[in-house]
Amino acid sequence: MPRLSTAAMLPVAMLAAASLLSGCAGNTIAPSYATTNPNIQVGGQKPVDLAPTQENAGSFCLEVTEKWHEDGETPDGQKLYAKDTARKVVPCAQ
């Protein structure tokens, strides 16, 4: 069986690579950034920070503060927002 030279194999390899890449290019899936996580938002405007709330934990209370911050963007340029939650022990309101 005759051996092909490197120069003869190059066009064959390039043709194979081009046909492989062109076959995948037409089947691109559109990204979907839907989430059910209430601590993340994709796109749109930054959510409004709510006023601190107080939770009764029995013998003490917790002041809960939730603030949103921008946390990067998706590959197609939509902003990502994430929620930070801070808890602080406070006297319970009477």
Full-prediction pTM beyond 0.85? Answer: no
What pLDDT was estimated at residue 31? Answer: 79
Asked, for residue 65, whether it belongs to a domain, the answer is yes
Asked, for residue 14, whether it belongs to a domain, the answer is yes
Asked, for residue 16, whether it belongs to a domain, the answer is yes
- Alpha helices (H) in the chain, listed in sequence order: 6-25
Q: Which residue range(s) make up the domain with 16?
A: 6-28+36-90
Domain count, the chain: 1
Asked, for residue 79, whether it belongs to a domain, the answer is yes
Using only C-alpha atoms, what is the Rg of the chain?
28
Residues 46 and 68: beta-carbon distance below 8 Å: yes
Residues 30 and 14: beta-carbon distance below 8 Å: no
What pLDDT was estimated at residue 45? Answer: 93
What DSSP character marks residue 70? E
Asked, for residue 46, whether it belongs to a domain, the answer is yes
Per the structure block, which two tokens stand in for 7? 């120069």
Per-residue pLDDT of the chain (94 residues; tens, 9 = 90+): 566 566 666 767 677 666 666 655 566 777 778 888 999 999 999 999 999 999 999 889 999 999 999 999 998 899 999 999 999 999 987 7
Q: Is 67 helix (H, G, I), strand (E, B) or coil?
A: strand
What pLDDT was estimated at residue 83? Answer: 96
Asked, for residue 1, whether it belongs to a domain, the answer is no
